[in-house]
């Protein structure tokens, strides 16, 4: 089959990338999933470098009010909101496609490869930014202790406790560099994250767990249960599925699977349904009141 490699092909390539960059990027970005971060705010074209979100402490009590008395004076001073700010940051990535690649490669392969590079890098940058914000704000550790360099940070949080704002959807520009005979694609997105607790630990917790292959103490299911108990104690809201969100790294996933399936034991006794599933598939989706997601982008504890 013959493939055109002229200017019409490059124009179509750019059109295809522009069309598919947004869905590709959203599909690869964990934190744009509304089951994980339910507060997604898009302010494209509205100006400004940040969003201010009013955040009020969850009320824990009410007061008796005398007939004709002031209600606000009696009970509601703890509802005065403060502001959580989402500051927008531009994230960018470039991909250069040589004219020889266009001439020698199949069209679908070139478009697919370029899309993967652009969308994958934008998604990675966005997720890392969100996890860095969580690490800075969620400071209570329900996991193990030890030298920070040997541990990763996993997070358990309310899906209503984190917000993501977007001032620019994933977009791409293209130009041809005649000096290098290269088609240059540049993709950008502008977004930011904020935690919405007063304090932040009321809506999110950290679990310090050993990195994959580490020899330090292993965090276990009890750490997840402890995080959930603390969030419930602080009246943090659960998601539509009735659970909190847990984003864990591959090392913690391994340690949980080993505990649940009793891997390493000289004998394996009768297991629970969760343990059986962990032994068969090394996959569990709901555990100790959390819906679990895995990410390789979680930060080290240091």
CA atoms within 13 A on the CB side of 218: 16
Mean pLDDT to the nearest integer, 186-212: 93
Of 275, 250, 297, 269, nearest in space to 134 by CA: 297
**Which residues on adjacent β-strands are paired with residue 164?**
40, 193
pLDDT tens, residue by residue, 4-44:
444 457 777 788 888 888 888 888 899 999 999 999 999 99
pLDDT at position 272: 56
pLDDT at position 76: 60
The residue among 119 and 57 whose pLDDT is bigger is: 119
Least confident of 26-35, 201-210, 268-277, 291-300: 268-277
Alpha helix (H) residue ranges in 106-151: 107-137
Mean pLDDT to the nearest integer, 108-116: 83
Mean pLDDT to the nearest integer, 40-61: 81
pLDDT band at 207 (very low <50, low <70, confident <90, very high): very high
pLDDT at position 287: 87
């Amino acid at each position: 089959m013959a493939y055109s490699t002229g200017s019409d092909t490059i124009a179509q390539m750019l059109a295809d990338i522009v069309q598919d960059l947004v869905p590709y990027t959203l599909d690869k970005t964990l934190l744009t999933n509304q089951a994980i971060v339910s507060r997604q705010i898009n302010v494209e074209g509205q100006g400004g470098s940040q969003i201010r979100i009013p955040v009020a402490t969850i009320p824990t009590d009410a007061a008796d009010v005398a007939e004709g008395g002031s209600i606000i004076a009696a009970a509601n001073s703890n509802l005065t909101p403060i502001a959580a700010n989402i500051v927008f940051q531009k994230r960018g990535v470039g991909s250069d496609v040589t004219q020889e690649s266009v001439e020698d490669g199949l069209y679908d392969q070139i478009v697919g490869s370029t899309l993967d590079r652009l969308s994958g890098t934008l998604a990675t940058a966005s997720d890392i930014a969100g996890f860095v914000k969580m690490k800075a704000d969620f400071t209570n550790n329900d996991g193990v202790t030890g030298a920070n360099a040997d541990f990763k940070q996993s997070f358990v949080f309310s899906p209503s406790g984190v917000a993501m704002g977007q001032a620019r959807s994933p977009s791409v520009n293209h130009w041809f560099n005649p000096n290098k005979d290269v088609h240059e694609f540049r993709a950008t997105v502008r977004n930011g994250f904020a935690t919405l607790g007063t304090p932040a630990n009321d809506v999110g917790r950290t679990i310090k767990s050993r990195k994959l292959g580490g020899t330090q103490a292993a965090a276990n299911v009890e750490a997840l249960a402890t995080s959930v108990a603390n969030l419930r104690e602080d009246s943090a809201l659960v998601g539509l599925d009735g659970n909190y969100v847990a984003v864990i790294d591959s090392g913690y996933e391994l340690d949980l699977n080993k505990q649940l399936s009793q891997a390493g034991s000289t004998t394996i006794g009768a297991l629970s349904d969760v343990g059986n599933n962990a032994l068969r598939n090394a996959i569990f989706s709901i555990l100790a009141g959390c819906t679990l997601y895995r990410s390789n982008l979680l930060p080290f504890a240091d």
